[in-house]
Structure formats: C-alpha cells, structure tokens
C-alpha cells in the first residue's frame, strides 16, 4: 500500500514479485519483516504524535516536539536496519520500505477529495520565523514538495552514509509528496538536485529543522491558483505538520516594487507546466506564446507585485517589534529563485535595501539558490537594462555573507 491506502508498487527494484524469489530468500524476508515490525511496535508505542491530533488548535511547540520524537524513533529503526548483520542489500531495501510505510502512517493525512480549494480566513499569511525557506517561482509547487520530502525522508541520509555507492532512483523506496495528486508515495521519484542542495544547507551546524521552519511560496500564473491553495491546505492540515507554517502567495510575483504589475504568460510549454511566464515582456516563452497563439500580442495577467525585502521583513523573527536579542540571531534563510529573468532586478532590490546584510550582521545565515536566465530575455535592450548593476549588487551581497548556489533547469 502507499501512504494513502492504494496498492503498493512491487517491492523488488528489479520488478520481481516475492513469488519469484527463492524459498530461502522469501523466508528470510518474512523473518526480517517480522523483526522490523517488532522494532516498529516497540519504538512507536509511546504516546507522542497525539498532542495536536487530539487538539482543535495548533500548538507549534508541541508539533515540533512530536515531529522530533517521530524522527528520533524512525532514525533508530533505520539505523538498526542498515547495521543488521548477515542481511543482503535487497532485504535491507525491502525492510527500509516496510519501515517507511509504517512511519508515515504515524501522520494523519488529509484525503485528496476533502482538501479545501480556498485558504481559511483565519489563517495568517505570516508567522514569526527563526528559519524560513522562500520559494520564488513556485509553479506547481515542486520545490515545496521536495522540502516536505526532506522532512519525511529520514532513512535515506542514514542509508547513503552507510552505503555511499547506492543509487537513489525511482525504484529506491523513499517518501515523496506528489504535489499533483496530493498523495505521499513510497516510490517513483528520484532525487532532485535542489533537494540535495537544500539538505546540504539545512544540516549545517546548527541544523535548520523543517518542523521549525516557515515556508513561503510565490507564483503569479493564475492557472495554478486553485491547486496551490489545495497544496497549502494539504500540508497545513497534516498532523503532525512537517513544517512550522506554509503560505503560498498566489497570483503574486516578486518585483522591485510593492504594487500591481503585469505577468506575461507562457501558454505553449504545456509539458513543463508553463514555466516561462515572466514579468519581462521579451521572455522567450511569452514571446512564443504571443506569436503562436495570439497574433503577436502578448497574453497577460494582472497580478500583485511584492518585494523580497517586504517578504523578509514580514516573516523573519529579528524584524518583529517584540524581538528579543536572542530572537535576532541564530536564524537561517534559504531563498530559491527561478523567476524567468526577473532575478536581476530582484537581487539589485534586495542588495539596495540592505535587509539581508543587516540580517546576517545580527548573527544569521542566508543562502540564495538562483537559476539565471540570460539569453531567454530576447530583447537586447531589456536584457542589458536588467543586467545593469547586477554584478555590483551580487558582489555586495557576497561580501556581507550571502552564499549563492546555482540552480539548473532540471526537474524530475
């Protein structure tokens, strides 16, 4: 079974059923699964994971405690599997899958058909956050899904440390949030490069734990509004919740000014979820859309514009009026930016406001993972205008301590 009660994919990575295994291997597998089941029954019998299940109100402190206890128990069980003597790798992989299916069952997951398409009025857009992940250019929510994967996939890092040559591919079991169908599967997804980068930056000392992290998305394309609202509700309604807070700003784009703006839509990149929509009129996919679908006229949408500076100040703990001296340090901010050419003006804006350098000077860390779009801005004048002053702005941010990572257009 998968985590949503559907049929489990075949356990063997070579697509053999258990019936095709030798009798000895089959008996070994059954014995090992019984052992794993006993470990699970023993380690998950504690009364944690019920603080928020039995309460109608969310308590972020209790939620964080619940997730940490769940992770600790799961890590202990996973470590026992990888250290099990005289056990083949195949049996270990199968035991890992059994463990992960049972571990995810400790969460109460919303059913797909019951996920709301509107955000509850009482939910806040912003929370006071020591740590945050900001996803600029959310599209269908892939990056947010991978962030949640990182919260749920406890065993794979342990496995990779023990077996560094193991391939984590679509046949290797590990929890994955399917953002399209709002289900958590135990197979079918490889490791996205962004996930590896995120894990690297989040596990640095001190670690940035998902359950203590606020997550913010931003997507302008109205095509994705309803599904992103459902994604937000699905994650926010999980019990316990794998993140502290999530809000996706729909029909909103990151800009250099806080005011309404125009989004030039990509309507041709169907297989890539219209990934070329941009606030720049000469973005190649928006230009292609105009030529092929609208007689040369751009197809546009009126959307909200929000500065990255505004978003940072609204959510990060040091900028709250009641922040103590302890609140102002020890935080971490990771920003993923894939905004189809707008990254030049956004980096210039955030450097000009000095908010990230100020944040770092108080004792915090900032990572910006950016996909650069150079030749996709087809108009030379617009391209030069966007790039003018960019290198100076980036250098200023680097000199004050912002770490830059490069994102490539690669998605599983």
User: Per-residue DSSP letters for 330-380?
Assistant: S-EEEEEE--TTTHHHHHHHHHHH-HHHHHHHTT-EEEEEE---STTB--H
pLDDT category, 410, cuts 50, 70, 90? very low
Cα–Cα separations (whole angstroms), residue 66 to 105, 145, 168, 243, 244: 14, 21, 28, 12, 12
> CA-based angle 362:367:370, to the nearest 5?
145
Two structure tokens written together for 202: 């989040």
Cα–Cα separations (whole angstroms), residue 315 to 84, 198, 268, 321, 331: 45, 20, 35, 12, 12
Query: From start to end of 210-288, where are the E strands?
Result: 213-219, 245-250, 252-254, 261-264
Contact 219, 250 (CB under 8 A): yes
Q: Is the pLDDT of residue 11 over 50?
A: no
Two structure tokens written together for 377: 């801005």
Two structure tokens written together for 400: 């004050």
Contact 159, 83 (CB under 8 A): no
Contact 186, 97 (CB under 8 A): yes
Question: What is the spatial distance between Cα 330 and Cα 323, in angstroms, rounded to a whole number?
Answer: 13
Tell me how crowded residue 342 is: count the other CB atoms within 10 A of its CB: 25
Residues 126-171: pLDDT tens digits?
Answer: 998 999 999 999 999 999 999 999 999 999 999 999 999 888 888 8
Residue range 105-131: mean pLDDT, rounded: 91
Q: Is the pLDDT of residue 187 over 70?
A: yes
Quote the DSSP letter at residue 215: E
Contact 147, 215 (CB under 8 A): yes
- Of the candidates 74, 92, 73, 71, which has an alpha carbon nearest to the alpha carbon of residue 83? 92
Q: Looking at residue 47, what is its pLDDT? A: 43
Q: Is the pLDDT of residue 224 over 80?
A: yes
Question: What is the spatial distance between Cα 375 and Cα 283, in angstroms, rounded to a whole number?
Answer: 9
Crossing angle, helix 89-104 and helix 23-43, to 10 degrees?
40
Residues 188-208: pLDDT tens digits?
Answer: 787 777 888 888 899 887 889
Helix (H) or strand (E) holding 133: strand 131-136
> CA-based angle 333:336:341, to the nearest 5?
135
Cα–Cα separations (whole angstroms), residue 305 to 118, 191, 249, 348, 387: 21, 32, 10, 16, 20
- Of the candidates 171, 131, 193, which has an alpha carbon nearest to the alpha carbon of residue 327? 131
Two structure tokens written together for 278: 């941009």
Contact 327, 371 (CB under 8 A): no
Report residue 43 CA to chain centroid gap.
28
Q: Looking at residue 72, what is its pLDDT? A: 94
Q: How many residues does the chain have?
A: 412
Two structure tokens written together for 375: 């030749």
Contact 170, 390 (CB under 8 A): no
| CA quadruple 221, 193, 198, 106: dihedral sign | positive
The whole-model pTM stands at 0.88
Residues 265-287: pLDDT tens digits?
Answer: 999 999 999 999 999 999 999 99
Quote the DSSP letter at residue 264: E
Out of 53-57, 84-88, 256-260, 315-319, pick the least confident.
53-57
Cα–Cα separations (whole angstroms), residue 129 to 69, 123, 143, 311, 357: 21, 16, 19, 12, 18
Helix (H) or strand (E) holding 386: helix 380-387
Question: What is the spatial distance between Cα 289 and Cα 283, in angstroms, rounded to a whole number?
Answer: 10
């Amino acid at each position: 079974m998968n985590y949503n009660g559907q049929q489990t994919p075949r356990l063997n990575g070579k697509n053999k059923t258990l019936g095709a295994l030798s009798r000895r291997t089959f008996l070994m597998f059954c014995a090992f699964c019984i052992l794993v089941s006993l470990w699970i029954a023993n380690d998950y019998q504690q009364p944690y994971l019920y603080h928020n299940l039995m309460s109608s109100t969310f308590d972020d402190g209790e939620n964080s405690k619940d997730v940490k206890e769940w992770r600790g128990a799961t890590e202990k069980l996973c470590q026992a599997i990888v250290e099990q003597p005289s056990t083949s790798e195949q049996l270990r992989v199968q035991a890992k899958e059994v463990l992960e299916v049972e571990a995810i069952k400790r969460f109460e997951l919303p059913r797909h058909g019951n996920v709301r398409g509107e955000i509850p009025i009482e939910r806040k857009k912003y929370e006071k956050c020591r740590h945050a992940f900001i996803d600029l250019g959310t599209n269908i929510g892939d990056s947010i899904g991978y962030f949640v994967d990182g919260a749920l996939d406890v065993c794979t890092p342990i496995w990779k440390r023990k077996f560094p040559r193991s391939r984590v591919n679509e046949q290797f079991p590990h929890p994955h949030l399917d953002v399209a169908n709002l289900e958590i599967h135990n197979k079918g997804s490889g490791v996205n490069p962004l996930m590896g980068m995120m894990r690297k930056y989040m596990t640095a000392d001190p670690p940035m734990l998902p359950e203590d992290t606020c997550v913010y998305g931003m997507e302008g394309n109205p095509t994705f509004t309803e599904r992103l609202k459902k994604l937000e509700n699905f994650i926010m309604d999980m019990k316990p919740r794998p993140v502290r807070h999530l809000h996706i700003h729909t029909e909103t784009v990151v800009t250099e000014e806080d005011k309404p703006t125009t989004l030039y839509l990509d309507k041709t990149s169907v297989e890539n979820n219209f990934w070329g929509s941009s606030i720049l009129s000469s973005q190649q996919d928006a230009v292609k859309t105009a030529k092929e679908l609208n007689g040369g006229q751009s197809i546009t949408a009126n959307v909200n514009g929000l500065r990255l500076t505004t978003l940072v100040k609204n959510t990060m703990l040091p900028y709250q009026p009641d922040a103590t001296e302890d609140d102002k340090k020890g935080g971490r901010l990771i920003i993923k930016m894939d905004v189809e050419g707008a990254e030049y003006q956004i980096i210039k804006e955030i450097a000009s406001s000095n908010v990230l350098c100020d944040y770092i000077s108080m004792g915090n860390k900032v990572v910006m993972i950016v996909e650069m779009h150079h030749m996709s801005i087809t108009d030379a004048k617009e391209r030069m205008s966007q790039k003018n002053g960019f290198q100076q702005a980036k250098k200023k941010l680097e000199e004050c301590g912002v770490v830059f990572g490069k994102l490539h257009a690669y998605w599983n």
